[in-house]
């Protein structure tokens, strides 16, 4: 499997949405240790809306689909998380020519542009204990896999593994943004909820592709 048409991509994002919804309690538990405890609820709310937005629609292009996911998150989640996770899906498609299919290189490029937009917007860098700590390694993993001409399941698996390592590294970081910043060194040993959500998204993408490849 090297490409996804828009129907397959929609199925993948529906799978991702269900995984995020199922992770609400897990994300809430993590966020209660450093934040307001509402991250799990917000993510579940946003991705339930994504499920509703996607399930009965067909999409002409990859870009249309990313736009729908991102705008739905932006409109329903509210607050900083809505902007940040909306940006994760919207900003990477700005200015792109329409695509009927997505390969690993296109996905890597979309997420690279989204990452750079996210960093410009939020000013966070790797090591600041934010979602960037998982997102940037995931993007690098996708790019390296694409450069090696890996197939889509292998590339997404690499992205997910890199996201996981980045998420785990947030336990060794002191937060520089948000409520967690006030904890200082007391935040050491605790992982960031936003980075955890990014890992869940990429892991779900990888699991969907692996399961589909196994059924072919």
Domains of the chain by range and CATH?
A: 3-215 (1.25.40.340)
User: Is the separation of the CB atoms in 92 and 110 below 8 Å?
Assistant: yes
- Give the pLDDT of residue 211: 87
* Radius of gyration in angstroms for the set of CA atoms belonging to the chain, rounded to a whole number: 16
User: Is the separation of the CB atoms in 82 and 74 below 8 Å?
Assistant: yes
The string of DSSP letters for 63-129 reads HHHHHHHHHHHHHHH-HHHHHHHHHHHHGGGTTPPP-SEEEHHHHHHHHHHHHHHHHHHH---TTSS
Does the pLDDT value for residue 178 go beyond 70?
no
pLDDT band at 179 (very low <50, low <70, confident <90, very high): low
Please give the average per-residue pLDDT across 53-79, as a whole number. 94
CA dist 138 to 111, 131, 133, Å?
A: 9, 11, 9
- Give the pLDDT of residue 148: 95
With a pLDDT cut of 70, the percent of the chain lying above it is 94
Beta strands 101-103 and 3-5 are antiparallel
User: Is the separation of the CB atoms in 176 and 7 below 8 Å?
Assistant: no
The residues facing 101 across adjacent strands are 5
* Segment 135-176, tens digit of pLDDT: 999 999 999 999 999 999 999 999 999 999 999 999 998 777
């Amino acid at each position: 499997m090297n490409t996804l048409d828009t129907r397959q991509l929609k199925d993948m994002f529906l799978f991702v949405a269900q995984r995020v919804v199922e992770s609400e309690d897990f994300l809430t538990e993590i966020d209660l240790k450093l934040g307001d405890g509402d991250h799990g609820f917000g993510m579940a709310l946003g991705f339930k809306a994504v499920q509703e937005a996607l399930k009965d629609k067909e999409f002409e292009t990859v870009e249309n689909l990313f736009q729908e996911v991102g705008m739905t998150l932006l409109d329903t989640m509210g607050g900083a998380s809505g902007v940040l996770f909306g940006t994760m899906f919207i900003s990477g498609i700005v200015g792109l020519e329409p695509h009927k299919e997505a390969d690993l290189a296109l996905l890597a490029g979309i997420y690279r542009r989204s990452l750079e937009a996210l960093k410009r917007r939020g000013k966070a860098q790797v090591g600041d204990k934010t979602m960037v700590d998982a997102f940037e390694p995931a993007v690098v993993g996708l790019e390296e896999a694409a450069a090696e001409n890996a197939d889509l399941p292998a590339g997404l698996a690499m992205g997910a593994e890199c996201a996981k390592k980045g998420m785990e590294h947030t336990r060794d970081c002191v937060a520089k943004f948000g409520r967690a910043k006030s904890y200082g060194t007391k935040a050491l040993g605790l992982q960031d909820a936003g980075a955890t959500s990014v890992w869940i998204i990429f892991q779900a993408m990888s699991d969907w592709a692996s399961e589909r490849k196994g059924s072919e």
